[in-house]
């Protein structure tokens, strides 16, 4: 069924006359009349009764008009989706990140992206780094922020944010009263550590070995947020990502700068060879938000260039 014939019928029903329908569609009145007759032959029943030169919708025509309204609304939605795909590559965007960025940086970037792209629906997932990597490799996520310890085989990866780590201590901990912390202060201290595969933990362990320092690991966890909670509970001290720790500082957690630089490094990853303009726009929003975040930190020990 020719969509142009349907549109001609819809215009006559909407505007009441063939002359007005022709004016709106930018065609001649005879062309509208011809389209109506062609449509009637195609569907096998009369849409209008001809009464003294006037076209009066038949009962069948009224029923058909209701279906046409629904169909044309769906067609308009398809055309809108096609425009988004033409301009951006997809009608929606799927983004994932590790928990450290899930309450501040990424939501802010999504907010900025939405202001410029209000018609793009965004799906947001928070997962562990390995799970995120698998989702991106499988094409289930369009872009993601993850820790740098992942296997980057099968994904496109670029460096994202690099944050200097801090030592998290409970207000009642003996180290809380020290103005400066040395690596040797951590020797034999009860220590909440990141997971063994974490590159930040490996960097810290190399530093401990260099200085012959041996913290007593009492708990291992994959997340800085869990370390912060355990430190507040009095389990020990631990090295954390300051972005994650910000909410716990409000609850009394103390962050101490470390004398040696230990870093949390992250990657922005994409499915290989599938970056559209929409995905690049979201990546730009994330980069800009990270730049703003660094500017807010100012010249503090938790801020290093990425």
On the question of pLDDT at 300 being above 80, the answer is no
Q: 171 is in which domain, residue-wise?
A: 166-261
Output the six-digit token pair for 168: 């998290």
Secondary structure of 63-108 in HEC code, one letter for each residue: HHHHHHHHHHHHHHHHHHHHHHHHHHCCCEEEEEECHHHCCCHHHH
How much is the mean pLDDT over the chain?
Answer: 88
Domain assignment present for 305: no
Place of tokens 């972005």: 243
Query: Residue 48 phi/psi, 5° resolution?
Result: -135, 145
What does the longest C-alpha to C-alpha distance in the chain come to?
104
Same structural domain, 154 and 223:
no
Question: What's the pLDDT score for residue 90?
Answer: 53
Write out pLDDT tens, residues 40-85: 999 999 999 988 778 899 999 999 999 999 888 888 877 776 766 6
Write out pLDDT tens, residues 110-133: 999 999 888 788 999 999 899 999
Mean pLDDT of 87-104: 79
On the question of pLDDT at 189 being above 70, the answer is yes
Question: What's the pLDDT score for residue 303?
Answer: 36
The CATH number assigned to the domain holding 224 equals: 3.40.190.10
Same structural domain, 59 and 138:
no
Same structural domain, 33 and 46:
yes
Higher pLDDT, 299 or 245: 245
């Amino acid at each position: 069924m020719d969509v142009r014939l349907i549109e001609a019928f819809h215009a006559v029903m909407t505007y009441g006359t063939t002359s007005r329908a022709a004016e709106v569609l930018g065609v001649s009145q005879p062309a509208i009349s011809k389209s109506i007759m062609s449509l009637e032959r195609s569907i096998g029943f009369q849409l209008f009764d001809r009464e003294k030169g006037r076209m009066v919708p038949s009962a069948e025509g009224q029923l058909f008009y209701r279906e046409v309204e629904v169909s044309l609304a769906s067609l308009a939605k398809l055309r809108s989706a096609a425009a988004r795909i033409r301009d951006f590559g997809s009608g929606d965007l799927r983004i994932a990140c590790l928990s450290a960025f899930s309450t501040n940086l990424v939501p802010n970037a999504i907010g900025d992206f939405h202001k410029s792209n209000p018609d793009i629906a965004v799906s947001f997932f928070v997962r562990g780094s390995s799970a995120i990597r698998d989702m991106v490799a499988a094409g289930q996520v369009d872009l993601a922020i993850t820790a740098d310890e992942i296997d980057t085989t099968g994904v496109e990866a670029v460096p994202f944010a690099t944050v200097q780590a801090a030592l998290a201590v409970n207000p009642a901990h003996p180290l809380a009263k020290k103005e400066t912390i040395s690596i040797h202060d951590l020797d034999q201290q009860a220590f909440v550590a990141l997971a063994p595969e974490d590159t930040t933990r490996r960097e810290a362990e190399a530093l401990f070995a260099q200085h012959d320092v041996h913290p007593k690991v009492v708990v291992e966890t994959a997340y800085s947020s869990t370390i912060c909670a355990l430190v507040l509970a009095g389990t020990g001290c631990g090295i954390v990502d300051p972005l994650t720790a910000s909410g716990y500082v409000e609850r009394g957690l103390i962050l101490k700068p470390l004398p040696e630089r230990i870093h949390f490094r992250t990657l922005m990853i994409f499915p290989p060879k599938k970056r559209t303009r929409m995905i690049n726009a979201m990546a730009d929003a994330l980069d800009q938000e990270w730049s703003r975040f660094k500017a807010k930190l100012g010249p503090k020990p938790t801020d290093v260039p990425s």
